[in-house]
Amino acid sequence: MSYLGIDNTYKDGAISAGDYSTDPRLISKLDFATDALRRWASKYPHDPQLARAYFLGVMVLRKVYTQPEQDTAWQFIQTLVSQYSGTYFGRVMKNSLAKGFTEHLMATAQVCPTPLPIGVGVMPEVTPDVTPTPSPAPGHPAIVVITPPCVPTKAASL
């Protein structure tokens, strides 16, 4: 895949992802482009278009709320800041990184609890999880885990 193909895959992926995504079909396309970018960078390490491709990769991969894609976005950010700091894309990423970077992960949806029969009179106690997110270690991104709503079982929905 050429750098134009890589860039176009990332641009299209950013549109397809919307605000965020965990779509396996989109992830598959992005993984293909990421592998191609890594091969391109190893074959042509001084290509002036690499900074743009890494930047576009960051823009789409940070919208994919899975651990591998968030890790790749972080790696691309570090590459831009360290190897391409003199380029427009490196400077933009350095300024963005100064404001902070947060990884977003989507937790696995859990099955909704079975409702109690009517008239039982016992209500389960619900306590929210108030565990604060720890501050990130120096040189590491902050992490936010998003918990989706529970998934009702077929028996509960009848």
Q: Quick: pLDDT tens for 34-60.
A: 999 999 999 999 999 999 999 999 999
- pLDDT, residue 52, reads 96
What's the number of CA atoms in the CB half-sphere (13 Å) around residue 61? 27
Contacts of 100 (CB under 8 A, 6+ apart): 141, 142
Dig out the tokens for 121 from the structure. 């009179």
Query: Distances in Å between the alpha carbon of 43 and those of 37, 79, 123?
Result: 10, 16, 63
Show me where the domains of the chain are located: 3-101
Dig out the tokens for 139 from the structure. 């040189």
143 strand-pairing partners:
103
- Is residue 41 within 8 Å of 19, Cβ to Cβ? no
Question: Phi-psi category of 44—alpha, beta or left, where left has phi over 0 and alpha has psi -120 to 50?
Answer: beta
Residue spans of the chain under pLDDT 50: 128, 130-131, 156-158
Torsion of CA 92, 95, 97, 98, to 10 degrees: 180
In residues, how long is the chain?
A: 158
Tokens 């039982």 belong to which residue?
Answer: 120
- pLDDT, residue 136, reads 63
- pLDDT, residue 155, reads 56
DSSP-based three-state secondary structure for 53: helix
pTM of the model: 0.75
DSSP-based three-state secondary structure for 72: helix
Contacts of 153 (CB under 8 A, 6+ apart): 111, 112, 114
- pLDDT, residue 43, reads 96
